[in-house]
Structure 1
Amino acid sequence: MHRSRFALALVTCFAIPGFASAATAKKGITKTELPDCSAVTFDGSNLTEEENDYFFSNQKYISTTEILRFALGRDSILADFYARRKGTDFNADVLKIKDLAKQKGLALQMTHDLAVAENAHIEQNKNRKWTRDTGDTLFCRIDAIGDTATNSYNTYAASYLKGLQAKHEAMHGQVGYFDVTVNDCTISKSINTGNRYSAVKPDPDARFLTVNATFKNTDNESRLPLEGSLFISKDGKDFKFDTAETIMSDGYGIRMRSLNPLIKLNTNIVYKVPNELSGEVYWKPGRNPEDKKLWCTYLPPA
């Protein structure tokens, strides 16, 4: 099992005797069906004051973790309930988050946010003791995340989606003479161009961050786009990378190619970044009188 089905694996499936979801059953754990939430009181009226306080303080972490694990295609209780709900309406905000996770740059940000939520929840629940009632409450509140009507458990999806969409929108903007879009940002240990003479070999001390971007010349005469700089923010400090890798292969770099009016150029701009850096990444295209930065991704620790 993945380390994190977070406390749901650590303190729910194992701490409640005989209690496991359908997904864990695939891995050899005794299968117990998901609870019938129509028969479960999970508004808190069946819990002690201490248990209600616990759920109140942890609900954000629980909901965020399940939403992001579902969106990223990982093992989750919400995915089990989604499978059981097949053919019925499901929370549109959760499905939009899942759709945005198809973009690798955004998926890296979501993976980072997931780790933060999981670690916070695990830290608060090292010695948590569970009963079958609290387990049913937890599972059914996770099920409620999928409801189409707003409730206390799926509001976190709307809030998270708003922030994610803001980053998505920040991947596009007018920069000087060009309408520029960051289509995606990806991280790799090497660059395979399909040609062994132009491929970039791994560096044990670094990774390669590739910005796939589209420039459209919005002026009425030919203009030359420039590759610009990459910025990685860590601990309140910006690290600037203004030298892109020279890759002599179609689909990479700009190589002093002017664009005629209203013509587009899609290209990959590659930067070598050190393994010791991690954090939020922005790209500032060249010929940029307003110093506009476009959001790129979250660079995870190497």
Structure 2
Amino acid sequence: MKRVGLALSALVACSTVLGKANEDETISAVMQDHYFLSLNCITYLKGLSPVDQSRLYDASMMTQVNGALRFIASRDSVLEDFHKQFRAKGLKFNTDLIKLRGDNSVHVPSIESYYDDEYSDEKANTAFATWREVKNQAGRKAEEKERINKFFYCQTALVAAGLGPGATFGERFRSFASTRTKTANIGYFSVTVDRAQYGRTVGTSNRYAEPKAWEGSRFFILHASFKNLDTESRMPAEGSLIVSYNGKEYDFDSVEPISAEGYNLWFRKVNPLVTVKTKIVYRIPNEIEGEVYWKPGRNPDGIRLWVGRIEADHG
């Protein structure tokens, strides 16, 4: 079962690579070297093969993004350590990251599972795996391993200083987040996309409720919340799933009739100020892939909420 949207995942942080004690030592060394202030972090990789240097540099671009996202989401981050170091040494920290952290209107996808975009935690995990793989190659000297670690922390320090690619992170992220809303007031309800997943089964744990598999199709399970904002009971509606694929928009408005607790809405009213959480299941073709939106029902303005992206299933 693959996840999209707001699926909480175990994002790795730099500290899982080194351990806290070694991390503090490495940060102190990077701060003392000051290579990040002259955009010369690559100095740490001198003597490594061009292939290894290229792989490490590409991986560091993703770890930079991961660190920035974790920082503005107020999650454990190496950038938080650099923030303290910058203040202690009188250096200017990236003010855009500080503003993003304090902006409650900006949605932060640092704890989400996005497919195939700059903020993908899957890509972050791959980047950290590349770091470990190159560093731990057979025959790698201890001094080389130390310099590889310093390179990654130096690249993170670039973001802390608002230099290099980190200088435009805030602008790029705001553009991304502003067009991907996951909560909106629609009709009488505040509606939220909590998370989503997709696969060849729904996973109801009830063989009588589990919908039958069809050749060439799979299931998209949307986890949603409806809070009734009115002063009397109201009835929410599932709505439709919209997938942008090959230059067209495909509208899936048929919901699987799953008669198990926690699925669908079944024309049920919700009392005032009460929130109902449910899983809405759509059957979609294996071939489809792309960006996914959800248009809740009873929605005269046609408001769409962003869910994430989906991969094709090639078997």
Residue 100 of structure 1 corresponds to: 109
Distance 1:151 1:207, change over 3 A: same
Matches within 5 A, 1:200-219: 200=211, 202-219=213-230
Residue 248 of structure 2 corresponds to: 237
Residue 152 of structure 1 corresponds to: 164
Distance 1:41 1:215, change over 3 A: closer
Distance 1:238 1:225, change over 3 A: same
Q: Is contact 1:69–1:114 with CA below 8 Å preserved after alignment?
A: no
Report deviation, 1:172.
0.8
Distance 1:190 1:142, change over 3 A: same
1:297 pairs with 2:299: no
1:250 pairs with 2:247: no
Q: 1-side partners of 2:66 and 2:172: how far apart?
A: 13
User: What per-residue deviation string (whole Å, max 9, x for no partner) do you get for residues 115-165 of structure 1?
Assistant: 9xx9xxxxxxxxxxxxx9xx8996565132452x43234224423432454
Report deviation, 1:22.
11
For residue 176 of structure 1, the aligned residue among 187, 192, 195 is 187
- TM-score normalised by L of structure 1: 0.61
1:65 pairs with 2:77: no
Residue 286 of structure 1 corresponds to: 297
Q: Which of 37-46 and 228-237 deviates more? A: 37-46
Q: 2-side partners of 1:264 and 1:246: how far apart?
A: 22
Report deviation, 1:113.
9.7
Structure 2: gaps spanning 5 or more residues: 1-13, 19-24, 43-56, 71-75, 87-93, 128-143
Q: 1-side partners of 2:190 and 2:84: how far apart?
A: 41
1:111 pairs with 2:145: no
Q: Is contact 2:68–2:97 with CA below 8 Å preserved after alignment?
A: no
Distance 1:63 1:204, change over 3 A: farther
For residue 203 of structure 2, the aligned residue among 167, 177, 192 is 192
Distance 1:144 1:258, change over 3 A: same
Q: 2-side partners of 1:45 and 1:219: how far apart?
A: 58
Report deviation, 1:185.
1.9
Residue 8 of structure 1 corresponds to: none
Residue 283 of structure 2 corresponds to: 272
Size of the aligned set, in residue pairs, is 243
Report deviation, 1:68.
4.6
- TM-score normalised by L of structure 2: 0.59
Structure 1: gaps spanning 5 or more residues: 1-20, 26-32, 48-59, 74-78, 119-131
Q: Is contact 2:211–2:256 with CA below 8 Å preserved after alignment?
A: no
Distance 1:154 1:189, change over 3 A: same
User: What per-residue deviation string (whole Å, max 9, x for no partner) do you get for residues 177-223 of structure 1?
Assistant: 22211111222331112222212455552332211111122233332
Distance 1:250 1:70, change over 3 A: same
1 or 2, which has the higher helix percentage?
2
Residue 48 of structure 2 corresponds to: none
